Structure 1
């Protein structure tokens, strides 16, 4: 899965940045003159190129207005929060502040949902499956409860709280945002309620994380007689080790060992044209 250009995440992120730049500059008068008002830099929260390196390149290009695009559909302090903390740490060293606009979480954005459902529909057309599992990156349950200022909503009644879309708490709840993403995709894919479910992957340690756990959900579905399953990793916009290895290799091995016959890993959005257009619209909004 590792390429000569580097990790899958690095390769796909670079391709997305280049495609986004082409889309943003297409048809602009500035492009005809041989220049563009758009300067795009991309960075990794942990790894290279770093946020600090990308910021220095923007400063060297004399960029004075910055739009930050966290490539996380759903929001949590350990993803968007951590990335923004690091950016603010780097920016604090500047003598003159730079105006920022941050693209908000896009878990329910029609363009994002349409792009994911487009990829999923192609996989489902090629592979007959009995069930679709929407697998999201997990976070500790304590992160969910800390986001609930009321202290009485999140993690109530075995996650029934996530279905309360009218609650202002649910609007900012990571797990509720994941549920909303899954529901939007299931609707677009015309999935019957009994033919899809949600789970959470990549947990670490022994403390409780968001549930149900993806590995145990695979066991449960196989025990229930499901033989062919498709997994959509809708918390990731690009393929990476947590999709390709955790689900595509270890998840498939576990599925077969549990009695399943076939597991289809739906590809990530990567630099898909429909996703590039949706992202461009979010940037321009």
Structure 2
């Protein structure tokens, strides 16, 4: 580099899904309105999507969701938010002054637009975008990518931008989950392991299928160029790698999917459903279950409340004795190192 040349800096944008500004109904309603009217989340025509969700689904759902968020909220606020900000700080420290790390949410605050503006004001030479979703889905990673492009296309000067679209099989990501699992397994013996992933409609998977490769079945037994961006295939790939790290045989774990909206949309979501998987287990002599949520890298409503509390209650009602959720990656040192390595490699 020539003497006195300006120092080039790389911008990094970490993005997670989003959270209400508070657990009050009005803020939860605002969050749900933005989330559920995203055309990549609910792929209906806008003329149907907006009236249905803004006029019916969100008003009915917001008060119920607000009560759940009140259970989740801590002195620091939303776990998804403060873990994200903590991760941003730690990654910034590890990357050093040649990088500028920003954090944003796809829905609500801090917004992606605000985070990108921070990077623009820092005059970064290029931007690396890392959506914090291990397995690619159009409704999560794809939505973030589209939002980023919608924002930067309005800039007069657009720097080079690259996206890390998935890290379902990233060694550092897998190693962190394995380490957290081993910590829990050292405390007691478990009869079975459940890997519970966030569900998406089957049509979302089929719409992204490469030349009709996807059959929603055995095609997910291997992870290859044909299903590289298949959400279901990535979930099974993550599970196999974590299971191998824990020394599990295929009969010792189950892969399932949670958080479906099938009852409202009358549309099949990825199966098997976690709540239906866990109910028969006690009758089979499986009384102690360790549950993972590998679609999430930080504690949130879907992990702490849904898997950690609601599924625990269902399991115990069915005769189970112990249901234990493995904590999310949050700011585990191995995870911070994994994120740092992914950025450096890109």
Q: TM-score by structure 2 length?
A: 0.76
Give the equivalent residue in structure 2 for 1:181: 238
Alpha-carbon contact 2:195-2:256 (below 8 Å) kept? yes
Q: Indicate whether 1:95 and 2:95 are aligned.
A: no
RMSD of aligned Cα (Å): 1.2
- Structure 2: distance between partners of 1:127 and 1:241: 26
Q: Indicate whether 1:171 and 2:242 are aligned.
A: no
Give the equivalent residue in structure 1 for 2:327: 267
Of the two structures, which has the highest relative contact order with CA contacts closer than 8 Å and spacing of 6 or more? 1
Q: Indicate whether 1:3 and 2:74 are aligned.
A: yes
Residue 126 of structure 1 and its aligned partner are, at CA, apart by: 1.2
Alpha-carbon contact 1:129-1:228 (below 8 Å) kept? yes
Residue 64 of structure 1 and its aligned partner are, at CA, apart by: 2.7
- Structure 2: distance between partners of 1:233 and 1:278: 18
Alpha-carbon contact 2:145-2:163 (below 8 Å) kept? no
Alpha-carbon contact 2:222-2:237 (below 8 Å) kept? no
User: Per-residue displacement from partner, 1:109-134 (whole Å, max 9, x unpaired)?
Assistant: 11110111001110111132111101
Residue 160 of structure 1 and its aligned partner are, at CA, apart by: 1.2
- Structure 1: distance between partners of 2:323 and 2:101: 37
Alpha-carbon contact 1:127-1:264 (below 8 Å) kept? no
- Structure 2: distance between partners of 1:141 and 1:241: 23
Q: TM-score by structure 1 length?
A: 0.92
Residue 186 of structure 1 and its aligned partner are, at CA, apart by: 0.3
For residues 122-137 of structure 1, the aligned pairs below 5 Å read 122-137=183-198
Residue 225 of structure 1 and its aligned partner are, at CA, apart by: 2.2
Q: Indicate whether 1:61 and 2:128 are aligned.
A: no
Alpha-carbon contact 2:201-2:269 (below 8 Å) kept? yes
Alpha-carbon contact 1:135-1:231 (below 8 Å) kept? yes
Alpha-carbon contact 2:223-2:234 (below 8 Å) kept? no
Q: Indicate whether 1:19 and 2:76 are aligned.
A: no
Residue 170 of structure 1 and its aligned partner are, at CA, apart by: 2.0
Pairing partner for 1:252 from 302, 312, 315: 312
Give the equivalent residue in structure 2 for 1:32: none
Pairing partner for 1:160 from 205, 209, 218: 218
- Structure 2: distance between partners of 1:222 and 1:10: 36
Moved over 6 A (4+): none
Alpha-carbon contact 1:17-1:42 (below 8 Å) kept? yes
5+ residue gaps, structure 1, are: 26-35
Residue 169 of structure 1 and its aligned partner are, at CA, apart by: 2.3
Question: Tell me, what secondary structure is at the counterpart of 2:324?
Answer: strand
Residue 258 of structure 1 and its aligned partner are, at CA, apart by: 1.1
